[in-house]
Amino acid sequence: MQVRDKLYIDGAWVPSTGSATIDVIGASTETVIGTIPQGTEADVDRAVKAAKDAFKEWRAKPVDERAKFIQLLAEGLGARSQEISETIAQEVGMPVFWSTMIQAGLPQAVMGSYVEIAKNHKYEEQLGSTLVVREPVGVVGCITPWNYPLHQIVAKVAPALAAGCTIVLKPSEVAPLNAFVLAEICADAGLPPGVFNLVTGTGPEVGEAIARHPHVNMVSFTGSTRAGKRVAQLAAETVKRVALELGGKSPFVILPGLSDEQLDQAVNAGLGSCYMNAGQTCIAWTRMLVPRADQDRVVAKVKTAAETFALGDPLDPGHMGLGPLISATQRDRVRGYINKGIEEGATLVTGGAEAPEGFETGYYVKPTVFADVRNDMTIAQEEIFGPVLSVIPYDSVDDAVDIANDTIYGLHAGVFGPDVESASQVARRIDAGQVDINGQKFNPVAPFGGYKQSGTGRELGAYGLDEYLEVKALNL
């Protein structure tokens, strides 16, 4: 049980101006594993003032000096890796085997990447008689989700610090305990007071106060498209910069002409993406597009492979399958989508909405596969955020591209073809910010972000750093 009773503002742990607290519920135990302050608008005001006051000195520090602090933060994340992975396994439900590599390892890698990115970035360029300079945008409000909580925090905090910005962070109140670890690491690293501030609380109170605050120069939000629209609306009141990483309904196109071995590889890659973190992944390939002539063969392989994904205790170090969903609300929402798929005529191949046997406690959902899905069905259009795969047949490659693009989202996609060239040609036609080709893995320094209602702006790598820089022309 972690009792976190203070906020981190201006380099100190301070009580909230309010007295309310929020319980943090364990995904596999359904018990209270921690409490946090329910912050207030007044707390946001204090944090923003601290960040605004600290900005002048932080932006003036040489890039190499800011990079040294970032290196210390990366080392601090590495030193507390086990604590972070176990904390997030309890909060979110990702098995600790995966949590160690992803929930703890990825934030450390991303933080560390900005040491060299910051030092090597091009902050000035000469255009004829004009010197173009890039300067930090100012105070940044970061509002982050629960599914990859620390990764999404670091994907904002690291480039913002590298750029010379100061930060007010509101993590998800559903999985906030990991953010306190980062705040402690910032304090231990000697990060100057006010450069990083942590205010926990709800979206309608703390999140909205950050988004509309007149002294917040930029807000970076990751979460649902619905909530992102609200953030953008509030931010527009003060015409601040907005970066949004929102929902997805990612297609995975399996092209014709695959050998049986390649088809096995494609199915394994597709299910691995769809079921990662029990499907609670914005980039999950939840729509598997297959040639109509191959659908029966693919579905048989998918069924066999899906039924190898066992449910288990996320704190069991030997468990490599699926954990629970994060909450009862999310579990019930996903089960509702499964029932909707059945009602609309999709063929349930495996899984289903019933509670899995042996898991009376914890927010578990069976790994589920639907076949004969039409792209106009609810399960093919709306982000489910659970372990639910829709297999959609297509009649030609042009048809596959049309289906892949027939959604409001455009965050991510995958294409698997008989060779890289043919797959790449299709990938270029898909409206998505990132496309994996033939099972290629996630690159933590490649630009990440979406088309259409999946968001605006890019995170990670040099492109992520650019989001936190203003461009000024000095006409000499």
Tell me the backbone φ, ψ of residue 410, rounded to 5 degrees: -165, 50
Q: What is the mean pLDDT of residues 424-433?
A: 98
CATH class of 2-246+453-475: alpha beta
- Going by C-beta distance under 8 Å and a sequence separation of 6 or more, which residues neighbour residue 146? 91, 92, 172, 174, 175, 326
> Token pair of 154, please?
């670091």
Domains of the chain, by residue range, sit at: 2-246+453-475, 250-443
3-class secondary-structure state, position 348: strand
pTM: 0.97
The beta strand positions in 38-148, using DSSP E, are 124-127, 130-136, 139-143
In the predicted structure, residue 423 carries a pLDDT above the cut 90? yes
pLDDT band at 259 (very low <50, low <70, confident <90, very high): very high
Kindly tell me the burial class for residue 31, based on how many C-beta atoms sit within 10 Å of its own C-beta (0-12, 13-18, 19 or more).
Answer: exposed
CB 436 within 8 A of CB 250: no
pLDDT digits (tens, 9 = 90+) for 191-225: 999 999 999 999 999 999 999 999 999 999 999 99
Element holding 241 (H helix, E strand): strand 241-245
Q: What is the mean pLDDT of residues 287-299?
A: 97
> Token pair of 285, please?
């390939």
The closest of 269, 228, 220 to 247, measured between CA atoms, is: 228
Q: What are the residues facing 221 on neighbouring strands?
A: 143, 244
- The mean of the pLDDT values for the chain is 98
pLDDT digits (tens, 9 = 90+) for 240-258: 999 999 999 999 999 999 9
pLDDT digits (tens, 9 = 90+) for 358-395: 999 999 999 999 999 999 999 999 999 999 999 999 99
In the predicted structure, residue 425 carries a pLDDT above the cut 90? yes
The closest of 360, 363, 295 to 331, measured between CA atoms, is: 363
pLDDT band at 6 (very low <50, low <70, confident <90, very high): very high
- Percent pLDDT > 70 in the chain is 100
Into which CATH architecture does domain 250-443 fall? 3-Layer(aba) Sandwich (3.40)
Q: What is the mean pLDDT of residues 428-450?
A: 96
Chain Cα centroid distance, residue 450 = 12
Q: Residue with structure tokens 């390649």? A: 262
pLDDT digits (tens, 9 = 90+) for 302-333: 999 999 999 999 999 999 999 999 999 999 99
Q: What is the pLDDT of residue 366?
A: 98
| Residues designated catalytic | 245, 282
Which amino acid makes up residue 165? Answer: C
DSSP letter at 123 equals -
3-class secondary-structure state, position 168: strand
pLDDT band at 96 (very low <50, low <70, confident <90, very high): very high
In the predicted structure, residue 441 carries a pLDDT above the cut 90? no
Q: What is the pLDDT of residue 417?
A: 98
The closest of 223, 196, 199 to 17, measured between CA atoms, is: 199
